[in-house]
Amino acid sequence: MPAVRRRSDLALYAALRGALALVRAAPEPVALGAAAALGRIARDVLGLRRAVADQNLALAFPTLPARERRALARRMYAHFGRVAAETLRFSAARARLALPRVRAEAAVQLHRALLARGRGLIVLTGHLGNWELASAWLASLGQPVAAVVKPPSNRWLARYIDQARRRMGIEPIPMPEARAGVLAALRDNKVVALVADQGPVHGSTWAPFFGRPTKTPEGPGLFAARSGAPVLFGAMVAEPDGGYRVEADLIEDAARGETREVIQRIAERFRERLEAAVRRAPDQYLWTHRLWRRRPPPGWGAR
């Protein structure tokens, strides 16, 4: 069985490199248009996680007519087809190529002011817009960026993705090493980027999201409590002209209080900011995660 898996892993890696070669060779409008079409095919023909996405959208937007939810879902699949192609193109280039495409004057000023304090900066985001490109954009500003990542089990793919992130100026922190790695990065006054909208099996708390209790990682609050680093919500959202707009909102200036209180407060504020951003661009949120498959413990929400 392990030998079969290794052969399939190599085939998947070879397919990725082939797709990358095609995406890089084609003119950008052609590559992105084809990728959007493939995204729609993934939903409409292959049915990849279609039921999960449809259920999530029905729970998040119960008053939206079913036809409009289906149209929203199709736009979402097309958006992430484009995001995948664009990220592949940038992964083979230097991060500075992202700069002309990003509008972020206020966000840049806020990032620099917070880093000037010398305590590092925790940036929380979700699977919204283009989170990989957001980290590359931060690195292109000359800000030292570390990102907590979950390496693929495919070792060829994991090595390639790790090298691509480093080319874009991002220092990957593998999830198993996150506790020590994040605190070390903050001590070095780095930006630590965390995609924090998927609740892990362990080490999580609960916070409202679209009116429903949702598992949320407790790591961001724990890191803030132990380091004193400010916590920022950020998102890079695509605009109709092909560019991006960066949103930035301070969640926690300097963590105060008992650690469990800090964890809960940051989780709730993060979910609140993320929900507001998703409502502004619902077709740019990855609705294919099983957001609400687990229930909170008895008595959750009682104050």
For residue 172, being part of any structural domain is answered with yes
Share of the chain above pLDDT 70, in %: 92
Q: Model confidence over 131-180: pLDDT tens digits?
A: 988 988 888 888 899 999 888 888 888 888 888 888 888 999 998 888 89
pLDDT of residue 193: 95
- 74 and 188 share one domain: no
pLDDT of residue 96: 47
- 24 and 108 share one domain: no
Give residues with Cβ within 8 angstroms of 214, minimum separation 6: 199, 206, 207, 208, 271, 291, 292
Is 19's pLDDT higher than 80?
no
- 70 and 124 share one domain: no
Query: Residue range 237-244: average pLDDT?
Result: 90
Query: Residue range 102-117: average pLDDT?
Result: 92
- 88 and 123 share one domain: no
Query: Residue range 236-261: average pLDDT?
Result: 92
- 69 and 118 share one domain: no
pLDDT of residue 41: 92
- 59 and 199 share one domain: no
pLDDT of residue 127: 96
Q: Model confidence over 76-93: pLDDT tens digits?
A: 999 999 988 888 777 766
Q: Model confidence over 42-81: pLDDT tens digits?
A: 999 999 999 999 999 999 999 999 999 999 999 999 999 9
For residue 298, being part of any structural domain is answered with no
pLDDT of residue 301: 66
For residue 65, being part of any structural domain is answered with yes
Total domain count, the chain: 2
The whole-angstrom separation of Cα 286 and Cα 289 is: 7
Exposed/middle/buried for 162, CB within 10 Å: 0-12, 13-18, 19+?
middle
Please give the mean pLDDT across all residues of the chain.
88
Last residue of a domain, one of 72, 92, 112: 92
Give residues with Cβ within 8 angstroms of 193, minimum separation 6: 123, 125, 131, 134, 135, 138, 145, 146, 147, 148, 170
For residue 46, being part of any structural domain is answered with yes
The whole-angstrom separation of Cα 252 and Cα 283 is: 28
- 86 and 63 share one domain: yes
Is 95's pLDDT higher than 50?
no
For residue 289, being part of any structural domain is answered with no
In 3D space, the residue among 225, 275, 274, 276 whose CA is nearest the CA of residue 252 turns out to be 225
Q: Full-prediction pTM beyond 0.75?
A: yes
Helix and strand counts by DSSP (H, E) for the chain: 10, 9
pLDDT of residue 250: 96
For residue 296, being part of any structural domain is answered with no
In 3D space, the residue among 299, 269, 9, 8 whose CA is nearest the CA of residue 152 turns out to be 9
Confidence at 302, pLDDT banded by 50, 70, 90 = low
Last residue of a domain, one of 74, 92, 110: 92
Last residue of a domain, one of 92, 107, 129: 92
For residue 199, being part of any structural domain is answered with yes
Longest dimension (CA), the chain: 57
The whole-angstrom separation of Cα 166 and Cα 145 is: 10
- 110 and 259 share one domain: yes
- 191 and 62 share one domain: no
Query: Residue range 190-217: average pLDDT?
Result: 89
CB of 282 within 8 A of CB of 242?
Answer: no
- 55 and 103 share one domain: no
Exposed/middle/buried for 240, CB within 10 Å: 0-12, 13-18, 19+?
exposed
- 131 and 229 share one domain: yes
- 81 and 204 share one domain: no
Q: Parallel, antiparallel, or unpaired for β 231-238 and 121-125?
A: parallel
Q: Parallel, antiparallel, or unpaired for β 170-174 and 191-195?
A: unpaired
Q: What one-character-per-residue DSSP string does 238-250 give?
A: E-TTS-EEEEEEE
For residue 299, being part of any structural domain is answered with no
The whole-angstrom separation of Cα 32 and Cα 243 is: 13
pLDDT of residue 99: 53
pLDDT of residue 156: 83
Residues of the domain holding 114? 96-283
In 3D space, the residue among 140, 203, 212 whose CA is nearest the CA of residue 175 turns out to be 203
pLDDT of residue 1: 40
